[in-house]
Amino acid sequence: MSGNSKDIEISPYREIEVVPYKTEWKKDYANEEKKIKNVFKDELINIHHIGSTAIPGICAKPVIDIMVIVKDICKVDMLNNEMLTIGYFSKGKYGIKGRRFFVKGQNNRTHNVHVYQTGHYEILRQLNFRDYLIAHPNEAKNYQNLKKELSEKFKFNIDKYNKGKDSYIKDIINKADQWAKIK
């Protein structure tokens, strides 16, 4: 197998499971953060725990999402082999221009790493979304309930699960952006 794993196939039929919040998620993130910092070294600007596992108290898919902010996104491709040594497979841009995406665990995924160059629009969007839901527990519970409902309805169809969350997420992003401007 080569260091570049774009040829590794991830099943579109992996089971979607939404589980109760686990305090271990913070520790899981911290352990991976150390490893990732060691790979990115001087290219790293910042690293964040994002996604639902970063929101205390809500149910989530048990996959730790990590956002890495770097100086130069083009240099990230040269780190694919180093990421592979700590268990992460490169998926390239994976549908978002200016991003590099890595997965750990393939069909039994445990972590996603989203890498953006400083200034990318997704950085603020992701951080505002997380922080807004932390600051608004009722919104977080509504999001949790939607995810639980969709995971039961589309247990083996990640595309329909994601599509079912799309309009709600867009609504939260709009609210989060407004909230961030006034906080």
Closest residue by Cα to residue 28 from 69, 63, 77 = 63
The answer to whether 139 and 125 have CB atoms below 8 angstroms apart is no
Domain limits, the chain: 24-182
What is the pLDDT, as a whole number, of residue 2? Answer: 40
Q: For the chain, how many helices (H) and strands (E)?
A: 5, 5
The alpha carbons of the chain give a radius of gyration, in whole angstroms, of: 16
From first to last of its 183 residues, the chain has per-residue pLDDT tens of 344 444 444 445 678 999 999 999 999 999 999 999 999 999 999 999 999 999 999 999 999 999 999 999 999 999 999 999 999 999 999 999 999 999 999 778 999 999 999 999 999 999 999 999 999 999 999 999 999 999 999 999 989 999 999 999 999 999 999 999 997
Alpha helices in the chain (DSSP H): 24-40, 80-85, 121-135, 137-153, 158-182
What is the pLDDT, as a whole number, of residue 16? Answer: 92
CATH 3.30.460.10 fits 24-182, yes or no: yes
What is the pLDDT, as a whole number, of residue 12? Answer: 54
59/4 Cα distance (integer angstroms): 33
pTM of this structure: 0.90
What is the pLDDT, as a whole number, of residue 107? Answer: 76
The answer to whether 12 and 160 have CB atoms below 8 angstroms apart is no
